[in-house]
Structure 1
Amino acid sequence: MEAIRYSALSGGKRIRPFLVTYSSTLFGVSRSYAMRVAAAVEMVHCYSLIHDDLPAMDDDDLRRGVPTCHVKFDEATAILAGDALLARSFEVLADPATHSDPRVRSDLVVELARAAGGDGMVGGQMLDLLAAESSLQMAEITRMQRMKTGALIAFSCESAALLGKASDSARHALRAYAHDLGLAFQIADDLLDVEGDPDVVGKRTQKDENAGKATFISLLGTDRARSQSQMLAHQAVQHLDMFPDTADPLRALAEYVVNRNN
């Protein structure tokens, strides 16, 4: 439990919970419902970071400016802490306290499983591992990042539509916003890996280049990649045109993700 709390409560941007809670305001969702789903999403995200940092994966010793879980504790404890967070996330979603309608809870469980599994985040991470051995092109890198990063971001937005039993058009608009936001976020991450200060970023930089991985930066160069991220952020905001001023925090987030320094 100490390792779980260390990894889940040691800071971070909390972008996925932000997306859940502020998307939920568009549909008048109960704050308590939204906060429970936000916590479940963050548990999945934190589990993925614990496992990504392991020696068998990215072999990182620093995360959010502090030692990674397996460095602070040990590898076996880190694996189990990640496993426990993943299991707890679905326990939270399935609990009646998350929504009074069992169908909504079931839909949340199914959609998060898809976003986190082989067709989503885990599959994207596998493609990322293969990227060090293969010469990926733009379409392949885009697919990889849509799975690895974008799928969980998309769920964060769509979960609000599920909680609020929103229309298909509203759900599709949020998914389109999330897809463009996720790619913009990943390009910004790639830029930080090339240009960022490790003390500010909170983790090692230059990892992709040292590993020989093809990235948006290696294919586009820094200037074109930065321009692409700005274009995607602008495009993401346009998908929110159907929503009123209550969507302004989501619009502001699109600008933040491409201008952040960590």
Structure 2
Amino acid sequence: MSIDIALNEAAGAVNRLLTDLLPPVDGAENRVLDAMRYATMGGGKRIRPYLLINSAALFDVYSEYALRAAAAIEMLHCYSLVHDDLPAMDNSDLRRGRPTAHKAFDEATAILAGDGLLTMAFEILADPKTHPDGQVRADLVLALAKAGGAAGMVGGQMIDLWAEKNELDIGAITRLQRLKTGAIIAFSCEAGGILGHASMAQRHALISYAHDLGLAFQIVDDLLDAEGDAETTGKPVGADAKAGKATFVSILGIDRARDQAKLLGQQANSHLDMFGAKADPLRWMTEFVLTRKN
């Protein structure tokens, strides 16, 4: 199976579940649900759900459990995009080739939609439908809270805003991206191990894979911002340079940044050796990340 087919299958399954989890309701509150659906169903490659589903498959986790956890991480990811696009943050008008949530609705509704998606992600993980073992559910909730909070994605976003007026060296940029992007990717991989009662060695291997993959992902993102075009990427380009942000590309240059991404991809795959051929879908993702155009 190719990565494109595997990604499409995972995305299709997650999209169907997201549709079921976000049905229309009667009353004025339906507007925020419209915005939540808009934010989650507007395309996207569903990379994080793919990672979670295929990490869980290493341990033969029941597919419905993995799928629900995958929907939760996609909700949290989409919440972060909605808030990231707001005028107070990146002030973006375009996301995935269409107007951002605050442009399609309004700023207040977009904020509430992000809040709703974030909250619902934890609701899904805490539901017994996600796993019959209460300790597993608690571990999932704890891991996602750490990955999404001040010691993870939120902290990374704060550093990113601070960096607009302060210079960062390569070590600081690496830390920023490990928090802002890498922590959620790491959760996506570790969650498969949590669902499957994996050993700590197996969970650490998945986390190490995810950390290297996450940095490679961000370097490619920086390359696309420097070299890509809005029509292909589906979002504005050149924003980092315009904002004066230090990135992997601005410090390393395009050629060295591309080489570093390749090296990180090789390191990522090396962490999967203990899983043998069963981890091939994760190795396919590494190649996909390194060669993506949007």
Is the TM-score greater than 0.5?
yes
User: How many residue pairs get matched?
Assistant: 262
- Show the 5 A alignment for 1:1-262: 1-262=33-294
TM-score (norm 2): 0.89
- List per-residue Cα deviations over 1:222-250 (Å, max 9, x = no partner): 00000000110111001100002121010
Distance 2:120 2:204 in 1: 28
1:13 is displaced (CA, Å) by 1.1
Distance 1:212 1:244 in 2: 43
Which one-letter code corresponds to 2:193 in the other structure? A
Which one-letter code corresponds to 2:73 in the other structure? V
Identity of matched residues, %:
62
1:197 is displaced (CA, Å) by 1.4
Distance 2:290 2:134 in 1: 38
Shift >4 Å, 4+ stretches: none
Distance 1:94 1:118 in 2: 21
Distance 1:67 1:226 in 2: 30
Residue 116 of structure 2 aligns to a residue whose secondary structure is helix
Distance 1:149 1:219 in 2: 19
Q: Structure 2, unaligned stretches of length 5 or more?
A: 1-32
Q: Structure 1, unaligned stretches of length 5 or more?
A: none
Which one-letter code corresponds to 2:162 in the other structure? L
Which one-letter code corresponds to 1:250 in the other structure? L
Distance 2:99 2:278 in 1: 38
TM-score (norm 1): 0.99
- List per-residue Cα deviations over 1:49-79 (Å, max 9, x = no partner): 0000000000000000000000000000000
**Backbone CA RMSD of aligned residues:** 0.4
